[in-house]
Amino acid sequence: MSWHEAFNQSGFSKFINSPAGRIFRLVAGTGFLVLGYVYRDHALGVLSMVWGVLPLSAGAFDICYISALLGGPLSGAKIRDKHKTG
């Protein structure tokens, strides 16, 4: 089994690619952006804003960067369709 298949069958992947996981990523990304904006005069604030783009874009566009890095599909919908239970 390849790394991306093992990841995409994990409970974490199933959560993060679910509708609840998308909402979590949107909220987390927004939180990092807001926190970074509040502390924009500090290096960690700027890093927080840069980091916040990843979960925000992943949630907004239904993509999974981890799966793509492991050689699997980028699309959350493709991951869900391939690993449906039942």
Q: Write down the domain spans for the chain.
A: 3-82
Tens of pLDDT, residues 21-56: 999 999 999 999 999 999 999 999 999 999 999 999
Per-residue pLDDT at 82: 87
43-61 and 19-38 helices, crossing angle to 10°: 160
**Looking at residues 57-72, what average pLDDT do you find?**
94
What is the percent of the chain with per-residue pLDDT over 90, rounded to a whole number? 86
Angle at 73 between CA 31 and CA 46, to 5 degrees: 25
Q: Is 71 left (phi over 0), alpha (psi -120 to 50) or beta?
A: left
